[in-house]
Amino acid sequence: MSSARQRFNTQMKKRIYWVLLLLSAVGVVSACMLTLTVAMQYSMRQAEQMICDLTDTISASYSYMEQEAYLEMLACLPDNVRATFITDDGTVLYDSDATESEMENHFGRPEIQEAMEQGWGEDIRRSATTSISSYYYAVRLTDGSILRLSRSYSSIRGMVVGALPGIAVILLLLFGMALYFSRRLTRWMIRPVERAVRALDHNEEGGAMYDELTPFVSHIRAQDQQIHDQRVTLEQERETLGIITNSMREGLMLISKDKTIIFINPSAISMLTGRKADVYEFQGHSYLLVNRTSELHECVMAAMEGDSRDEVFTLYGKIYHVYASPMMRMGQVHGVVVIVLDETQQRLAERSRREFSANVSHELKTPLTSISGYAEMMENGMVSSMDDIRVFSASIHKEALRLIALIEDIIRLSRIEESPRQTEELQAVSLNELCAAVAESLQPVAQKANVQLHLEGSVPPIAGAEAMLSEMVYNLCENAIKYNRPNGAVWLTLTDGDGEIEVKVRDTGIGIPEESQMRVFERFYRVDKSRSKQIGGTGLGLSIVKHVVEYHLGRIELDSALGSGTEIRVYLPK
Ligand code: ADP
């Protein structure tokens, strides 16, 4: 802004300077011309007056002199005065500039006519004889003849022409002065304006400046402030927009009509390129540089034609849903907005829900089929002896218990899955007491399996859901007993860690093969299906554990070696 003001200042200075200079030059030239004209007019009037006076004086002496002597006297007049003596019939008796006989009759001349009629006459004209512009003055003498004196203006003009070099020098001098004063005057005139400009540039009080400039300066200052405020607001908005787009989990990309990227956010880069990169690497380049997936390309092409389109595609092991919409301005497509959503979790959850329904049906069907089979056999009288009835009833009872256990686990799991974490529902839970109670309740099971169950360590209370935590510890310990060997052992250890509490369940059991270690937390996953069923497993125990840990914002770790044992560690924030 300051340079614009500087330029304005210079332009203004130049203009004022040239106007002043032009005015001075016009003034000087006009003054000279006017003076010359006035001086010339004055000299002409002087010359005319001199001719009049001389004519009157000479005419007065005519009556005292002989005509011949009179004419001789006329010949003695100065050279620049032309004397003409004309008789009353118009014949020229004497003329100081031309031979009398060569001269025509002068009776028709206006000044002669006037002199004949009223005693005197005058005229200014170009002489036919000498062809020079002259002043003529004629007087009627006592005998009716006319005395005429005249003087040409050429001598006066000559005088003016002679003075021209001097005038030129004066003109030059005056022009030089005009140059000097124009410069000084311009500076003097512009100084208050410069002061005002400086005050605006440095945002300070202007000091002495034109009063007329005060509203102008205040207006500019107000505008400056307004522009500054707008810039700050714009910067803030841009920053906010930057924060939003940078922290968005969704990928956002704006593509221009010529298919170059106008804007791309970091999420879009990492999703579509599979790596982290600077946005400037892609902005201004073709969107195909980011990704060449056909689905994305089709969406962009459709949006370029004015249609919104969305597609789902798999990229770098993730499932992405891309939406492309046209950016319309005045009914014309000016570009495309692309939004990319990572729907991997959602789609996997959908898949696992579908699988879960299928699994549940299957899991429920198996014991029911057995029950139905046993009952049918009994109905058909195929079981006759009391012993057989007892065996078949026991089998039906066992399958029914399995069914109940399965349904209870499903109910528990869906309850945990569907209950959103609510901090106000958390209460102080003493894991020491909770683990002691679980260990006590599992003691008969442990004894039956010939496994030693040990509880170690102590921790301060944590905020949690007691029933869920109890179920978690129970499932872990029950598994450690179930998948143990005779004379084996289980250690339930509580450790107070840094910011979190560790609940560790270690056993000396059969262990989990490496390829299954990541899958044991999936619903209905069992390493050895028949063994698990045999010992009453539902395949949901560790799935419940995983959900309880997630509900408490904790994490879970598993270490296992086939044949030597398993260790599962749960970390819960304090
Ligand atoms: P289940 O009801 O069958 O025990 P879980 O979800 O509790 O289901 O466990 C899933 C599978 O993980 C089990 O079937 C079993 O094969 C394996 N497993 C769980 N805990 C242990 C453990 N402590 N030792 C060995 N295998 C285990």
DSSP assignments along 489-517, one per residue: EEEEEEEE-SSEEEEEEEE-S----HHHH
504, two tokens: 């560790």
Q: Which two tokens stand for residue 264?
A: 């791309």
- What pLDDT does residue 418 have? 78
Long-range contacts of 193-197, Cβ-Cβ distance < 8 Å, separation of 24 or more: 193/9, 193/12, 194/9, 197/5, 197/6, 197/8, 197/9
pLDDT for the residue numbered 363? 85
Residue 310's H or E segment, with its range, is strand 309-315
pLDDT given for residue 208 in this prediction: 59
Nearest-atom number in ligand 1 for the CA of 528 is: 16
Q: How far apart are CA 162 and CA 481, in angstroms?
A: 139
Note the pLDDT of residue 211.
Answer: 80
Using only C-alpha atoms, the chain has a radius of gyration, in whole angstroms, of 63
Mutate to test the pocket of ligand 1, among 520, 524, 549 (most ligand atoms within 8 A of CB): 520
Alpha-carbon gap, residue 192 to 213, rounded angstroms: 9
> From ligand 1's centre to the CA of 540, what distance in Å?
9
Looking at residue 303, its amino acid is A
Nearest CA to ligand 1 atom 4: 537
Task: Give the Å distance between the CA of 366 and the centre of ligand 1.
Answer: 19
SS3 321: strand
Q: Is the CB of 543 under 6 A from ligand 1?
A: yes
Alpha carbon of 519 to ligand 1 centroid (Å)? 10
Q: What is the identity of the amino acid at 258?
A: D
Residue 507 CA to residue 495 CA, distance in Å, equals: 17
**Between the CA of residue 500 and those of 477, 542, 543, what are the distances in Å?**
21, 21, 22
pLDDT at 192: 83
Q: Are 312 and 342 in contact (CB under 8 A)?
A: no
- How far is ligand 1, taken at its centre, from the CA of residue 454, in Å? 20
Burial class of 329 by CB neighbour count within 10 A (0 to 12, 13 to 18, 19+): exposed
The Cα 434–Cα 504 span in angstroms is 14
Q: How far is the CA of 565 from the centre of ligand 1 (A)?
A: 12
Shortest-distance atom of ligand 1 to CA 565: 24
pLDDT given at position 207: 61
- Reduced to 3 states (helix: H, G, I; strand: E, B; else coil), residue 90 is coil
Ligand 1 pocket mutation, candidates 473, 477, 479, criterion most atoms within 8 A of CB:
479
The predicted structure's pLDDT at residue 99: 58
Tokens found for residue 310:
């969305």
Ligand 1 centroid from CA 539, angstroms: 7
pLDDT at 8: 61
Burial call 503-519: b when 16+ CB within 10 Å, e when fewer: bbbbbbbbbbeeebeee
Extract the tokens encoding 324.
């492309």
Most informative mutation of 490, 533, 542, 562 for ligand 1 (most atoms within 8 A of CB) = 542
CA 497 to chain CA centroid, nearest Å: 51
386-418 helix and 541-551 helix, angle to the nearest 10 degrees: 20
Q: Which of 526, 533, 567 to mutate to test the pocket of ligand 1 (most atoms within 8 A of CB)?
A: 526
User: What string of pLDDT tens digits covers the 574 residues of the chain?
Assistant: 456 656 666 788 888 889 988 998 898 889 888 988 898 888 889 889 999 999 999 998 888 888 889 988 998 988 889 899 998 888 888 888 765 555 677 778 899 999 999 999 999 988 666 667 889 999 999 888 999 999 888 777 777 788 888 888 988 998 899 889 988 988 888 888 888 777 777 777 656 567 887 888 888 888 988 999 999 999 999 999 999 999 999 999 999 999 999 999 999 999 999 999 898 999 999 999 999 999 999 999 999 999 999 999 999 889 999 999 999 998 899 999 999 999 998 888 888 788 888 888 888 898 899 999 999 998 898 888 888 889 999 999 999 998 998 899 888 888 887 777 777 678 999 999 999 999 999 999 999 999 999 999 999 999 999 999 999 999 999 999 999 999 999 999 999 988 999 999 999 999 999 999 989 998 888 888 777 777 777 889 999 999 999 999 999 999 999 999 999 999 999 8
Q: What is the rounded CA–CA span in Å between residue 132 and residue 457?
A: 143
Q: With a 6 A CB cut-off, is 489 part of the ligand 1 pocket?
A: no
State the first-to-last Cα distance of the chain, in angstroms, to the nearest integer: 60
Helix, strand, coil fractions of the chain, as percent rounded to 5: 55, 20, 25
pLDDT at 362: 86
Determine whether the shortest distance from the Cβ of 538 to ligand 1 is under 6 A. Answer: yes
Burial of 278 (0-12, 13-18, 19+ CB in 10 A): exposed
- 488 in contact with ligand 1, CB cutoff 6 A: no
Given a contact cutoff of 8 angstroms between Cβ atoms, the answer to whether 494 and 459 are in contact is yes
Q: Are 271 and 340 in contact (CB under 8 A)?
A: yes
